C-alpha cells in the first residue's frame, strides 16, 4: 500500500508499525506469563501455554500485516503444504540475516507450532524483547569456546541441562525447536576464517540438534529443513525495513528424525552425536547445492 513512498520513509513507517506491534502484544504476553509463574502447576501450564502461543501467533500476524503494508515482496515458498500445527518438529535452517527470523515466522505462522529459538544468554538483556523471549520460554544458552571448555569441563554440561529443562516444558504442548546450525549469520569473512567447504554456508554445528534430540527425540514427528535465499543478495535488517528486498525464496522439506542405535560397546549419547554430525554434514552439502541451483535460476524464478 505504501510502496510508492521513498525508501527512508518506508523504513521509518515500518519501524514505527513494528514497535507499536511489540508494545501492544508484549505486555499481554508478560501478564499471562506472570500468572503461570505465580501458579506453577501442570493444570495451569496446560491452560496458559496454549494462550501464550495464541498471543505470540497474533503478534507474528501483526508483523506480517505491517510487512504487507510496507514491503512489495515476491514470496516464492515451497514444501510446507503438508506440515501440521499439531505436530512437534525439529526445524533447521541456514542463517544469513536478522531478516531470516521474520521470514520464517511469516511463512510458518499457524502452519506449525510456534518456533522456539536457541538464544545466546546475553540476549535476555535486550529491552522488551528479552522479556518476551523469557515469557515464551526460549532457551538461553551460554556459548563457550573450546579452549574455555578444556579449562572448565564442568561448563560443558550446563547447556545440555538447560536444553533438557526447556524440552521438558515443550513436551506438554506441540512445539517446534528451531536451530540455525551455523550458529551465526553467514558472511564471506566468516566463511574464509572457518575455511568452510561450502560455497554458500558456514560449517554446521551438531551440538544443538544433538541436545534437542537427546532430550525429546521421541516427541519430534519430523525434521523440517528450510533453505532461505535472497536472490538479490543478503539484506541487512535496515534494508529490509526500507523495502529494498523484492524477492525471497523459501524451500522446505520434511525429513525423518535421525536415529542412532548404539553399536556394541557404544553408549547412546556417543552414537547420537556421531550420527547427527554425519547427518548435518550431508544436509549442508545438499543445501549448498540447492542454493547454487536457486542462484543459477534466479532470473527465471
Residue 78 CB burial class (10 angstroms; 0-12, 13-18, ≥19): exposed
* pLDDT tens per residue, range 116-152: 988 878 888 888 899 999 899 888 776 655 565 567 6
* pLDDT tens per residue, range 151-200: 766 666 666 676 677 777 787 788 899 999 998 999 999 999 999 999 99
HEC profile of the chain: CCCCCCHHHHHHHHHHHHHHHHHHHHHHHHHHHHHHHHCCCHHHHHHHHHHHHHHHHHHHHHHHHHHHHHCCCEEEEECCCCCCCCCCEEEEECCCCCHHHHHHHHHHECCECCEEECEEHHHHHCCCHHHHHHHCCCCEECCCCHHHHHHCHHHHHHHHHHHHHHHHHHCCCCCEEEEECCCCCCCHHHHHHHCCCCCCCCCCCCHHHHHHHHHHCCCCCEEEEEEEECCCCCCCHHHHHCCCCCEEEEEEEEECCCCCCCCCCCCHHHHHHHHHHHHHHHHHHHHHHHHHHHHHCCCCC
Domains in the chain, start-ordered, CATH in brackets? 73-296 (3.40.1130)
The pTM of the whole model exceeds 0.85: yes
pLDDT given at position 268:
67
What's the CA angle centered on 101, arms 98 and 102, to 5 degrees?
A: 100
* pLDDT interval class at 227 (50, 70, 90): very high
pLDDT given at position 167:
72
pLDDT greater than 70 at residue 1: yes
pLDDT given at position 211:
83
> Minimal CA–CA distance to 14: which of 67, 82, 54, 76?
67
Amino acid at each position: 500500500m505504501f510502496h510508492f513512498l521513498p525508501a527512508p520513509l518506508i523504513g521509518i513507517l515500518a519501524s514505527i508499525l513494528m514497535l507499536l506491534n511489540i508494545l501492544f502484544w508484549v505486555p499481554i504476553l508478560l501478564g499471562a506469563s506472570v500468572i503461570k509463574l505465580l501458579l506453577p502447576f501442570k493444570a495451569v501450564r496446560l491452560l496458559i501455554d496454549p494462550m501464550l502461543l495464541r498471543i505470540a501467533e497474533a503478534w507474528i500476524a501483526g508483523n506480517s500485516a505491517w510487512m504487507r503494508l510496507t514491503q512489495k515482496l515476491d514470496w516464492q515458498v515451497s514444501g510446507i503444504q503438508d506440515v501440521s500445527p499439531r505436530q512437534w518438529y525439529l526445524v533447521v535452517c541456514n542463517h544469513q540475516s536478522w531478516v531470516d527470523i521474520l521470514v520464517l515466522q511469516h511463512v510458518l505462522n499457524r502452519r506449525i507450532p510456534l518456533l522456539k529459538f536457541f538464544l545466546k544468554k546475553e540476549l535476555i538483556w535486550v529491552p522488551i524483547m528479552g522479556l518476551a523471549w523469557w515469557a515464551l520460554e526460549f532457551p538461553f544458552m551460554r556459548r563457550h569456546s573450546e579452549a574455555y571448555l578444556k579449562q572448565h569441563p564442568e561448563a560443558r554440561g550446563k547447556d545440555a541441562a538447560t536444553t533438557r529443562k526447556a524440552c521438558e516444558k515443550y513436551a506438554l504442548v506441540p512445539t517446534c525447536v528451531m536451530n540455525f546450525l551455523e550458529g551465526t549469520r553467514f558472511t564471506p569473512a566468516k566463511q574464509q576464517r572457518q575455511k568452510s567447504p561450502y560455497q554458500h554456508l558456514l560449517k554446521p554445528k551438531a551440538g544443538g540438534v544433538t541436545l534437542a534430540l537427546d532430550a525429546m527425540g521421541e516427541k519430534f514427528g519430523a525434521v523440517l529443513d528450510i533453505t532461505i535465499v535472497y536472490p538479490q543478495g543478503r539484506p541487512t535488517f535496515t534494508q529490509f525495513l526500507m523495502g529494498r528486498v523484492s524477492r525471497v525464496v523459501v524451500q522446505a522439506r520434511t525429513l525423518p528424525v535421525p536415529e542412532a542405535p548404539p553399536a556394541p560397546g557404544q553408549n547412546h549419547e556417543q552414537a547420537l552425536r556421531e550420527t547427527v554430525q554425519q547427518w548435518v554434514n550431508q544436509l549442508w552439502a545438499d543445501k549448498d547445492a540447492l542454493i547454487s541451483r536457486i542462484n543459477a535460476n534466479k532470473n527465471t524464478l
